[in-house]
Structure formats: C-alpha cells, structure tokens
Amino acid sequence: MLNKTILVTMLGLLVCGFWLSPQFKIISAGVAIFLFGMLALEEGFRAFTGGLLEGLLQVTTDSTWKSLTFGVVSTTLMQSSSLVSVITISFLSTGLIGLVAGIGIVFGANLGTTTGAWLIAGLGMKVKLSAYAMPLLVFGIIGVLQKSQKLRGVGYILAGLGFLFLGIHYMKEGFDAFRENIDLTAYALDGYSGVLLFTLIGAIATVIMQSSHATLVLIITALSTHQISYENALALAIGANIGTTITAIIGAMSANEQGKRLAAAHLLFNVVTAAIAIAAIYQMAALVDWISALVGIADNDYTLKLAVFHSVFNSVGILIMLPFIGALATRLQQWIPEKTRTREKPIYLTPSAAELSDTAIEAVRKETLRLFDNAFTLIAHGLSLHREDILSERSLEEVVLRKSRPIPLDFDEEYEKSIKGLYSDIVAFISRAQTRMQDDQAERLFELRVAGHEIVDAIKNTKHMQKNLSRFIVSPNRNIRQEYNKLRLQLGNLLRELVNIRDGVNDPTKVLSLDNLKVTMEKNDATLNGQMERLIREDRITAQMATSLMNDSAYAYDIARSLIKMGEQLFASGNREAERVAKSIALTPEEVQDIAAVQRD
C-alpha cells in the first residue's frame, strides 16, 4: 500500500512538473532515457557473465587487495556498480566467495564507479554525444534482434551506450533552457546547512532513480550550465553515494544471510565515507584544488573538479575502512546470524543466485551436495551405523561387528525434516532457472536434478530394508545375522568411498573412480545370491528369513546403484569437455558385469 502511495505521489509530481515547465519535461526525458540505457547496458554485460566473469571472480578474490582491484576494474569496464553488486551478492550467496572478498569487491566498486564521473565531466560535457548516439542505437538494435546470445549481448551494450549518450544530451539541453529562463543558483545554500540539505537531496534522487550514475549526470550537467553551485554539487555527490546502497539492499532482500551481510557492509561503508566527507568537505575541496592544479585542471573547470572530489572521498573511505575489513566481516556475522531451521531449507537457492546461469548451476550443485550429506546420515542410521564411524579411519568390518544394536529412528519424520522439503525446493528452483539458459547449461541442471532423484530413491530403498535389518542384526540365528551385517558393511564402504571421491582432487576424471564401485557392487550382488542359495539349500535360515534377505539384497543393490549414479552426476568438477571425455571412457554396464565375473572366478 505504501509503495503504491509513493508511486502515485511521484507520478502526480511529474505530471505537475511537465505542465509547469517544458524544460523539466526535457530533463526528465533525459533521465528516463539514461536509465533505460543503464538497463540495456547491464543486460548486455549479463550475456558475457556466463563463465568469463565468474572465472575471473574466483581467481582474483583470494586476497583483499585482489578483491578491491576486481571491484574497481569490473565497475570501470561495465560502468555499473549495481550489476557488480548483484553479481557479488549472487556469488556470495552460493558460497563461491567469502564475505571478506565480497566486501572488498563492493569497496572497489565504489571507487570504480567514480570513473563514470570522469568520463561524463571530461567528455560528455565537451562533445556533442547525440551525434554518436544515433549510429550506436541503429547497430545496437540490429544486434538485439539476432538469435546468438553473444551478438544480442553486443547489441544491448551498443544500444545501452546510445541511450546513455542520448539521455546526457537531453539533460544538458534541458538545463541549458533552464539557464535562459530560471536561475537555480538563487536557491543555493552556503555553509553546513547547505551541505546537509543537498546531501539529503542527492540521496533521495539516487534512491528514486536507482542509479548513482544518473544522479551524477544530473549534477554534472546542472553544474556545467551553472544551475547549481560547486559547493552544493559536492554535497549532492556525497548524497548520491549514500543513495546508491539502496540497490544492494534491494538485491539482498532475496538473498541469504551472507547477501544481507554484504548489503549491510555496503551501507556502512557509504555512510561512514559520507560522514567523513561531510565533516571534512572544505578540507577535501582544498585538496581537490591542489590535485587539480597538479594535473592541469583549470580553476573554473568545476565539472572535472567534481570528478576529482568524487574519487578523493571514496579513496579516503577505502583507506580508512580497509584495515578493519576482517573485523567488520566478523561483526556482521554476529549481527546477522544464520537462522535456526525447523526443517531443512535451502541455503544457496536464492533469487539472487538465479540472476546468472552459472551461479544458478553452482547453487543447485551445492544444495544437492547438502541433500547428499543429509541423505548420508539418514542412510547410515538406516543401516544402524553412525556417520562418524563411516567417515573415520577405523575398519568398518570391526565397526559393524561391534555396533549391532539398531539405532532408534523415525524414518518418515527424518525424511520429512531433512530431505523432502529440500529436494522439492531444488526441483522448483531448477524448473524456474532452466527457462532462460543455454542448452548445455540446462543439460547440466538436468543432470543435477537426476542426482537429486537418485538420492531420494536410495533413501526410499533404505527405508524398505531398514525394518528387517533392525530385526535380523540382533537375531539369534548367526547365519542371517552375518548376511545382514554383510549388507551393512558393503553399503557402509560404498558411502565411505563416495565421500572420498567427492572430497578428492578437483579432477574431471575422478568420476572414473566410480567404475571400481560398480564392479564391486556387481561382484557383491552375485556373491550374496550364491551364498543365499547355499543357506536355503542347507536349511541354515528359514523360508521367511530367505524371502526377507532376498528382498533386502535387491534393495541394497538398488541403493548402491542409485548412489553411484548420483556420484557420476554430482561429483563432476565443472569442466564440461573433460567430463564428457571421462564419461565416454567409463565402463559400460556390460563391461562392469564382465569384469565382476572375472574377479569372482
């Protein structure tokens, strides 16, 4: 209701402005065109984030200075701190980078965004940009209409630049017209009252337009046409820095706790930086005069001096905040703790993770690994084994013989709490994310969906055999007890090996290790069938025991088959070409059976 009221109020004010002033109409159209250009530019760069930006992000964020540099460079290239913030929140939410690295990127993005002020002040106010806007728009729209994702991305970038240039042109035209009719400098305020008021105006303008770049363009164009004073322009720039945090805050609303922590860090950095800039605005202005004289900027070139000021106060903020980045991350983790979950809920499957195809795939992979971890515990308990015993270095044969008491377990309750909801969330997320992916990316998501399905199948088969297993591992009949302990041992060893493969070296060919498990599975199944026939023939077990063992050995075989298939899909490293090669040389089912037969003989 509040949002609708604000929207209606804004629309009403705009209509009044259009009615009262044709110049205001031109300026507003310029802002709208500029913002549309920002959206097109972001859309264009998203076409190139699938793999390239993500790969760079992972190798350039292993230190604070690298993270800071990445934030500066990426924002300079894309001219969108908003896009960099969204990508950073997305990667942080999926666990691809840590909180300290994310904070470093956001700090760098604040400095990187100042390059936009330099370009606009140094070029945009001195060149007729509308002459370049038209061909850019023509070539851009041609590119947007292409089927190729890369060509469409280039088209959006060209069109975005065209709209940016056109928006700057119209804003400048509007303020030039204002200069002829109205002198806005008559409303300028001196002293700290003016600084505080115009800081607030800058923040509100940026919150409304959702772009500090748009606010800076307005400030620079108004300053270039002498519609605002230099001192008030400095305060407006400070306010724009505060207002730009709203983008990160909005992006973090749909993120997990890590994303919210990053948004809080962004807000804290900008508020602290703004407070320092306001307190020392006159000293910083003097520093700007000195730097400007040093690099040859004229005393009356206030647009370029504004760009210098924008860079200076952001640099000062980074220098002050950077030594405390580790402590800030620790404190944010205390202020925004992880939520206590009554039922298992996804950590990585956030709307921000779905913004980019590669992060969506990584989010699903990590969430499916969590599903496997939960299933591991449930299957282990279904076998009356403890997770820590399977993951230890102890002999599982000794563990199985020593721990023969059934573990009390409400299988249905545990399944509902730790598996069912999480699996449903994964499936729903995949269904939404697949619609805007390329074919190879959608194929990877389908493989992960198969992995989740196999995990659930393994759990259901464990439930089927758990009742008999709990009864027969304490049976007075030594023979049936031994056979069920063999099933426990085989599946316990399988779980141990799967974890070893998962946690092993990041090698695309590691899935070939699963071939050994397939051979072992076939060999164990055949051996058990032979042993079962002998026990029945020699009357060592009853007919009821034999029927139960026959059914449960089939369940054990299905559990093993599902878990191995899950490993083939889930434990891949991400190098798609290497994975395809590894899968092409993996053993076929017929080859597995032949090798198992040879080893039995």
Report d(CA 152, CA 148) in Å as an integer: 6
In this model, does residue 585 exceed pLDDT 50?
no
Is residue 348 situated within a structural domain?
Answer: no
SS3 at position 189: coil
Report pLDDT digits (tens) over 539-580: 888 988 988 988 999 999 999 999 999 988 888 655 555 455
Examine the domain organization and report whether 317 and 381 are in the same domain: no
Examine the domain organization and report whether 384 and 280 are in the same domain: no
SS3 at position 97: coil
In this model, does residue 437 exceed pLDDT 90?
no
Report pLDDT digits (tens) over 182-209: 555 666 778 888 899 999 998 888 877 7
Is residue 342 situated within a structural domain?
Answer: no
Report pLDDT digits (tens) over 140-159: 999 999 988 889 889 998 99
Examine the domain organization and report whether 440 and 407 are in the same domain: yes
Check: CB of residue 207 under 8 Å from CB of residue 245.
no
SS (H, E, C) 348-371: CCCCCHHHCHHHHHHHHHHHHHHH
Is residue 15 situated within a structural domain?
Answer: no
CATH number at residue 457: 1.20.58
Examine the domain organization and report whether 296 and 395 are in the same domain: no
**Residue-level pLDDT at 2:** 45
The boundaries of the domain holding residue 184 are 20-335
Count of C-beta atoms within a 10 Å radius of residue 207: 18
User: Got the DSSP string for 107-162?
Assistant: HHHHHHTHHHHHHIIIIITTS-THHHHHHHHHHHHHHHTSSSHHHHHHHHHHHHHH
Examine the domain organization and report whether 251 and 141 are in the same domain: yes
Q: What angle do CA 145, 135, 160 make, to 5 degrees?
A: 60
Examine the domain organization and report whether 373 and 306 are in the same domain: no
Domain boundary, last residue among 288, 306, 335: 335
Examine the domain organization and report whether 84 and 44 are in the same domain: yes
Domain boundary, last residue among 285, 309, 335: 335
Report d(CA 518, CA 494) in Å as an integer: 10
Examine the domain organization and report whether 314 and 399 are in the same domain: no
Examine the domain organization and report whether 312 and 396 are in the same domain: no
Q: The whole model's pTM is what? A: 0.70
Is residue 10 situated within a structural domain?
Answer: no
Report d(CA 56, CA 478) in Å as an integer: 60
Is residue 4 situated within a structural domain?
Answer: no
Report pLDDT digits (tens) over 209-264: 767 777 888 888 888 878 888 999 999 999 988 888 776 676 566 667 888 888 89
Check: CB of residue 152 under 8 Å from CB of residue 146.
yes
Domain boundary, last residue among 307, 335, 363: 335
Query: Counting every residue, how long is the chain?
Result: 601
**Helix and strand totals (H; E) in the chain:** 28, 0
In this model, does residue 378 exceed pLDDT 90?
yes
Instruction: Specify the range with the lowest mean pLDDT, choosing from 173-177, 261-265, 389-393, 468-472.
Output: 173-177
Q: Count of domains in the chain?
A: 2
Q: For residue 429, what are the contacts with CB-CB under 8 A and spacing of at least 6?
A: 346, 349, 354, 360, 363, 364, 367
Is residue 174 situated within a structural domain?
Answer: yes
Supply 165's token pair: 């240039």
**Residue-level pLDDT at 87:** 74
Is residue 8 situated within a structural domain?
Answer: no
**Residue-level pLDDT at 318:** 94
**Residue-level pLDDT at 55:** 61
Examine the domain organization and report whether 410 and 286 are in the same domain: no
Examine the domain organization and report whether 32 and 135 are in the same domain: yes
Check: CB of residue 236 under 8 Å from CB of residue 219.
yes
Phi then psi for residue 438, to 5 deg, are -70, 165
C-alpha distance from residue 338 to each of 85, 347, 527 (Å): 21, 10, 48
Supply 451's token pair: 């992995």
In this model, does residue 124 exceed pLDDT 70?
no
Examine the domain organization and report whether 161 and 254 are in the same domain: yes
